[in-house]
Amino acid sequence: MRPAKLEWAYEWLKTTKHLYINGKWTPGSSGKVIESVNPANGKVIGRFTGASKEDVDAAVRAARAAFESGEWHEMSRKERGRRLRMISDLIRQHQDELATLESLDNGKLYREAYMDDVQEAADIFEYYAGWTDKYYGEYNPVEGNFVSWTTRDPIGVCGQIVPWNFPIDMAAWKLSPALAMGNTVVLKPSSVTSLSAIRLFEIIHEAGILPPGVINLILGEGSVGTYISTHMDVDKVSFTGSTVVGKQLVHDSADSNLKPVTLELGGKSPNIIFADAPNLEGAIERSFYGLFTHKGEKCSAPTRLLVQRPVYEQVVEGIAKYANSYKLGDPFDPAIDQGPQVSQAHMERILRYIEIGKAEGARLVAGGYRDTEGSNAEGFFVRPTVFADVKNNMTIAQEEIFGPVLCVIPFDTEEEAVQIANDTIYGLAAGLWTNDVARAHRVAKRLNAGQVFVNRYGCYDFASPFGGFKQSGWGKEYAIHSLASYTKMKAIWIAH
């Protein structure tokens, strides 16, 4: 891991950043300037211009013109793949820059940003570069004197709205499959964490990899996303973020042009430890880190820990021990375990939930307060918080907190564990720990979640689809499954 490029970053941040439309950087027409705040100390570190509706119109026009020209989607599949691999290589070359900006902007540890976020962003461009010549139509064995086949054509102009918790990673999740299939894109990062996306577009622009208009970057607050989701000339929207906003995007689609929408939304994922779990200490450790890395700001985090009573107190004590040992502070300090929450508003939201948990009668065994020790006083730090003896109908067990707060819930029987696990509006992920293979099959089958992890919570690979059920979203990221949402299937018939 290369050292952080703090000196470079502060120099880069001295200039106000702009929108990227049709291959050019433009300040836009809104006149609004948005400040980027370092959550470790609450200080403004950079500024960028916010977009107006007219800027979104300009970006969509550029994307439409680029798509209709055919220069990108009619390019040979081999060449398109080569260019995506070039983007992957460039991300690796600038990995320290991108990770530094991500850590400054989001507050996550530099090593998390470097090893997890930016590394994966590079890897997923490389992965989808390999799909450009492997996803295609099929022959249809129809009756009569006909030949019929299907084609997989690019869907067109894609609006992509990216969250603040994994800014560059989520941008890559969306850009790479869309580009692999020959689409053009209007991307909007969160106004809280726009810096790494801006730098990514700079890197791609400087290398001259993509024709003008193929990718466009729109900056601004939530209303700007609405301009994209309601736009009549946007063919598809992909969104990662809260369930509340996801529902609104569905209405936006219905009220405009019925554009298809893929949604990766919230979660309240259960993680079940049975008394016969193999290597109980390993289960405790993984259950802790599965939630508390990246400050707990993860949609698929195992926020509800269901523990069978024979090992309940042992697990609670083990989790609390890990939580109490955590060091909070400067994300660039290798000795630190947890950085600040992404913003003051989000920190205050988490603290409100902690107070609700106390008022509801949950037993606080670790954390439960803002960390203001030493240099942390000006930052947005929340101690890793563990509530025991939680009832599943409590607010803290039902609503997504999206922070370093764990609810530990006791259970007696397998049937009870499954009932508690599924008793939520969400269905993103779930986990279970058991030495009984038959139980593993039974429970995994009954858990109503898009991915189920057995004896190791949090397994992710580009070859395996990622996405949830119920109010956790529509559609899948990763693997071949994400490509369907960036193409339209056409059936062709020829009489003979």
Residue numbers annotated as active site = 264, 299
The H helix count followed by the E strand count for the chain is 17, 22
Strands 184-188 and 270-273: unpaired
Q: Where are the alpha helices (DSSP H) in 16-141?
A: 53-69, 77-93, 95-106, 110-112, 119-129
Distance from C-alpha of 281 to C-alpha of 104, rounded to nearest angstrom:
34
Cβ pair 217, 167 in contact under 8 A: no
Contact criterion met (CB below 8 Å) for 30 and 49: yes
3-state secondary structure 144-165: CCEEEEEEEEECCEEEEECCCC
Answer positive or negative: Cα dihedral of 293, 2, 461, 265: positive
DSSP state of 309: G
Can you read off the two tokens belonging to residue 224? 């700007």
Give the SS3 label for residue 358.
helix
Cα–Cα distance measured from residue 112 to residue 227, given in angstroms and rounded to the nearest whole number: 33
Question: Whole-angstrom Cα distance, residue 448 to residue 429?
Answer: 8
